[in-house]
Amino acid sequence: MTTTSTRKPRSTLRPADRIFAGSTVIAGSLILAALAAVAVFLIAESIPALIVDPAELKGAPSSFWAYVGPLAFGTVWAAFLALVMALPISIGIALFISHFAPRRIAQGLGYIIDLLAAVPSVVFGLWGIKVLAPAVTPLYGWLVQNLGFLPFFAGGVSGTGRTILTVAIVLAVMIIPIITAVTREVFLQTPRLHEEAALALGATRWEMIQMAVIPFGRPGMISAAMLGLGRALGETMVVAMVLSPALVINFVLTGSQNPSTIAGNIALNFPEANGVDVNALIATGMILFVITLVINSIARIVINRRKAFSGAN
């Protein structure tokens, strides 16, 4: 006993330790350097578009902000719609896996959900064009006919189903795996004692979930939603392929004229852009960079503030 307690820990590092420590530091700083390089690139390349006479930009908008405004709106709007659809479903799946499903089914379902996250977005895009859009067109017709008094379904109905609602549905399918995976892990961390205490007090299983699981998991659910939102904001291929875009700001879900998103707009217009139009597209990319940065920062703040409970520390 005495010998072990008096022995000093080794202070000299072996070369292997140094090399390993050094390489992890390099790896860690590399990602920061890459992020900084992207930021510098975006800012430097954006400046020409910001100072040029807006009449020289494509479509001659009144200012650069008039050009990026509808795109920024469409980006946030599509991601928000996707989140509204995906969040309840994801939480439902997560609760089913963590608290309702038999163990074997829960495991299998978990794998399938994770598998969904691995499907490339271009495949989702093809599915959106080929399957979803034609399938929802009659439904949109019905919505416009019967709920046309709501601003969401005002005006003419799209004849092809390539609306922002269709895009949002595809985006929702894409972010469900992320939100489900995170919330499932949070729900599984609910202290067993809380759950058993609730059940012992006579709560039904639903009441137990309301009293013990949901309050415990709320910060985790919020951060999961933010992460899903982050992915939806930056999604490019699905929007470029499925959406029928226009430079407009409106809340109509079923019309032909839909606000495009920043990422989708870049993908569509970059191949043929030249001169200052390239700078304009990069400048919109910078706006997207800022939007995603803000969203991710909020997510991080939420996680940090509640990390004592969320298990995310």
Partner 1 sequence: MNSVLSRYKRLASIGAIAVAGTILLSSCAANEAGTTDPSAAASDLAGTIDGSGASSQGSAQEAWVAAFQTENPDVTINYDPSGSGAGREAFISGGVSFAGTDSALKQDEIDGGFAACVPDTGYIQVPAYISPIAVIFNVEGVDALNLDAPTIAGIFKGTITTWNDPAIAALNADATLPSAPITAVHRSDDSGTTKNFTDYLNKVAPEIWDAPAADPFPYQVGEAAQGTSGVVDAVTNGTNTIGYADASKAGDLGVAAIKVGDEFVDYSPEAAAAVVAGSPAGDTASDTDLVISLDRKTTDPTHYPLVLVSYIITCTEFVDAEVAPVVKAYVQYITSDAGQSEAASSAGAAPLSTDLSAKVATALESIK
For partner 1, the closer of residues 168 and 288 by Cβ is 288
State in angstroms the smallest separation of the CB of 113 from partner 1. 12
Looking at the DSSP bridge assignments, the partners of residue 258 are: 245
Other Cβ atoms closer than 10 A to 164: 30
Quick one: 84 or 293, whose CB is closer to partner 1?
Answer: 293
CB of 297 vs partner 1, minimal distance in Å: 11
CA 54 distance to own-chain centroid:
32
Q: Residue 113 or residue 198: which is nearer to partner 1 going by CB?
A: 113
Give the nearer residue to partner 1 in terms of CB position, either 122 or 147: 122
Supply the minimum distance, in Å, between the C-beta of residue 245 and partner 1: 5
Whichever of 87 and 312 has its CB closer to partner 1, that residue is: 312
> 278, exposed or middle or buried, with CB in 10 Å at 0-12, 13-18, 19+?
middle
Q: Which of 53, 71, 73, 75 is nearest to 63 (CA)?
A: 53
Helix or strand holding residue 163 (H, E): none
Least Cβ distance, residue 55 to partner 1 (angstroms): 14
Q: How far is the CB of 5 from partner 1 (least distance, A)?
A: 33
| Torsion of Cα atoms, 278 then 283 then 288 then 294, to 10° | 160
Please give the structure tokens belonging to residue 47.
């400046």
Closest by CA position to 168, among listed 226, 249, 254, 100:
254
Shortest CB 161 distance to partner 1, Å: 7
Cα separation, 39 vs 47, in Å, equals 13
Question: Which residue ranges make up the site for partner 1 (CB under 8 A)?
Answer: 31, 34-35, 38, 41-42, 58-59, 129-130, 133-134, 137, 156, 158-162, 178, 181-182, 185-186, 189, 220, 223, 227, 230-231, 234, 236, 240-241, 243-248, 256-257, 260, 263, 266, 268-275, 282, 285, 288-289, 292-293, 296, 299-300, 303, 310-312
Q: Which residues pair with 47 in a beta bridge?
A: none
Q: Which is nearer to partner 1, 1 or 118 (CB)?
A: 118
Rounded Cα gap, residues 171 and 194, in angstroms: 35
